[in-house]
Structure 1
Amino acid sequence: MGGIILKFISWNVNGLRAVVNKDFQSEFKQLDADFFCIQETKMQAGQLELDLPGYHQYYNYAERKGYSGTAIFTKHEPISVHYGIDQPELDTEGRAITLEYQSFYLLTCYTPNSGHELKRLDFRMKWDEAFQAYVGQLNQQKPVIICGDLNVAHHEIDLKNPTANHHNAGFTDEERADFTALLDSGLIDTYRYFYPDKKEKYTWWSYRTKARDVNSGWRIDYFLTSKKLTSKISDANILSTTMGSDHCPVVLLMHNLEL
């Protein structure tokens, strides 16, 4: 590949069929990514046929209808495709897809939300532990690029109202500690790598409070990479003006990756 720049995009679309009705395909074409990762597809096989010329399409569906789900659309056919994180009791919700390439793995993830009154925090903790173990196994073989809605604001800078939201889903001490542990296992948060002090850059805003109108948001969508890939990262960005979901897309640009 030489010095060719590869463009990675990740977007929680909050329903792929819904966003397709909001001009998704035009947006998709304009963004022109090499790898386009989707979370929260909320659909089953056969419910949507997307015409994306030049792209290979991979889907992981939840057993429960209209819930969760992930997808990856890529211009570059992978060596192999793996669905889930090798934990049958955690893999019924279609939350992860891994594509293998010559010099890296690409893993898209939709991390479980701990829910109202933290009713799913225990499930989330089990997921975090299993996910870190799975990533660790991958990272021993090849460097990893991880993206998706990881459902945690890591630091106070990553959400508008940290004090009011402390102990709420996505900003509990437990979730933040697990995310720190994931990074400490040999990964970097690419956006903070380039912009360590940038404030008020968010990727999710609550529909219920019209939070996007006043930019009262959370940064819970990420691109993480193995530290081994640091020299190959060109830039990371947040496309906060792209509409269609309560999340916006995030972008990673990389170079000199062997496919």
Structure 2
Amino acid sequence: MKLISWNVNGLRAAVKKGFNEYFDQMDADIFCIQESKLQAGQIELDHGDRYQQYWNYAVKKGYSGTAIFTKIEPLSVHYGLEENFEEEGRMITLEFQHFYLVNVYTPNAKRDLTRLPYRLEWEDRFRQYVQQLDQVKPVIICGDLNVAHLDIDVKNAKSNHGNSGFTTEERGKMTELLNAGFIDTFRYFYPDTTDVYSWWSYMSKVRERNIGWRIDYFLASKRLVPYLADASIDHQIMGSDHCPIILQIHDITDVPLSAPVQ
């Protein structure tokens, strides 16, 4: 099974830059996007014969938003966190027979960190939510988590310490999430790999010089480790300030459903 996640930073713009061609070429079983920046009916994608589509639109026009395209019919669909609604369209959960898939676009703390308190509170609620799911069946989390967890996940770690997305508080929340029973699949396969990023500033020559951050992730319940085949980052794919990330997993029909007692 192949899963892809991509923050497209505006789907209409990404379509003009090759999104559909990449989508068709990759032929993923599940394709998740973040920051669609759409309202209902603003775009028509010619994938309806192969994929079921699920959209979570932000109330604010041209902002945030998530979507999932899946060849596998889900058992249930949930939008947002526990309230099944949130104005910024940041999350979709699909329940499948053997796992949950959570597509998420984590709130940014903002450059001046004015939204950091909200971000940290949101992180706590998100962690509690996915932990509850994990008690029922394994969870795969994907999306733009808006944090570089380790020093090797950002090009210039020393000069970026304390900046939005690389604060001690945000990195600590990622550590808490991983300690709650999840793994960073890319780091599982490539624990020491450096200079591999998923986001670059639009400033001149930043991407050309690979001055980036790895802030897009596939996380998975620890009991899925034996079923993981590979995790990769398609850093050569343009069309957004982020690039797609990929998770490949083996057949998981025999995976233990409920999480082991801690």
Range into which the TM-score falls when normalised by the shorter chain: over 0.9
| Match of residue 170, structure 1, among 165, 168, 185 | 165
Say whether the 8 Å CA contact 1:87–1:130 is kept in structure 2.
no
Q: Which stretches of structure 1, 4 residues or more, deviate above 6 A after TM superposition?
A: none
What residue is the counterpart of 1:78 in the other structure?
Answer: 74
**Deviation readout 1:4-41 (Å, 9 max, x if unpaired):** xx000000000011101112111100011000000000
CA distance in 2, matches of 1:112, 1:172: 14
How far 1:209 sits from its partner (Å)? Answer: 4.0
Structure 1 position 61 matched with structure 2 position 57: yes
Query: Greater CA deviation, 17-26 or 224-233?
Result: 17-26
How far 1:185 sits from its partner (Å)? Answer: 0.2
CA distance in 2, matches of 1:93, 1:237: 28
| Match of residue 240, structure 2, among 236, 245, 257 | 245
What residue is the counterpart of 1:137 in the other structure?
Answer: 132
Task: Tell me: CA distance 1:162–1:87, structure 2 relative to 1, closer, same or farther (3 Å).
Answer: farther
Structure 1 position 226 matched with structure 2 position 207: no
CA distance in 2, matches of 1:210, 1:245: 15
How far 1:258 sits from its partner (Å)? Answer: 3.3
Letter in 1 for 2:199: W
Is the partner of 2:237 in helix, strand or coil?
A: coil
Say whether the 8 Å CA contact 1:205–1:246 is kept in structure 2.
yes
Is the partner of 2:120 in helix, strand or coil?
A: helix
CA distance in 2, matches of 1:162, 1:94: 31
How far 1:86 sits from its partner (Å)? Answer: 1.4
How far 1:49 sits from its partner (Å)? Answer: 1.3
Question: What CA RMSD, in Å, does the superposition of the two structures yield over aligned residues?
Answer: 1.2
CA distance in 2, matches of 1:210, 1:56: 38
Letter in 1 for 2:59: E
Provide TM-score, normalisation by structure 1. Answer: 0.95
Is the partner of 2:217 in helix, strand or coil?
A: strand
**Deviation readout 1:199-238 (Å, 9 max, x if unpaired):** 0000000002431010000000000000011100000000
How far 1:87 sits from its partner (Å)? Answer: 4.3
What residue is the counterpart of 2:258 in the other structure?
Answer: none
Letter in 2 for 1:71: A
Structure 1 position 39 matched with structure 2 position 34: yes
| Match of residue 23, structure 1, among 14, 18, 27 | 18
CA distance in 1, matches of 2:38, 2:203: 23
**Deviation readout 1:32-64 (Å, 9 max, x if unpaired):** 100000000001111111111300000001111
Structure 1 position 205 matched with structure 2 position 200: yes
CA distance in 1, matches of 2:253, 2:242: 31
CA distance in 2, matches of 1:221, 1:116: 18
What residue is the counterpart of 2:210 in the other structure?
Answer: 215
Task: Tell me: CA distance 1:130–1:87, structure 2 relative to 1, closer, same or farther (3 Å).
Answer: farther
Say whether the 8 Å CA contact 1:186–1:227 is kept in structure 2.
yes
Letter in 1 for 2:56: N
CA distance in 2, matches of 1:122, 1:56: 36
CA distance in 2, matches of 1:257, 1:178: 29
Structure 1 position 111 matched with structure 2 position 99: no
Letter in 2 for 1:85: L
What residue is the counterpart of 1:184 in the other structure?
Answer: 179
Letter in 2 for 1:63: V
Identity %: 60
Is the partner of 2:199 in helix, strand or coil?
A: coil
CA distance in 2, matches of 1:208, 1:113: 19
CA distance in 1, matches of 2:171, 2:197: 17
Letter in 2 for 1:246: D
The 5 A counterparts of 1:122-133 are 122-133=117-128
What residue is the counterpart of 1:160 in the other structure?
Answer: 155
Letter in 1 for 2:188: Y
Structure 1 gap segments, 5+ residues each: 1-5
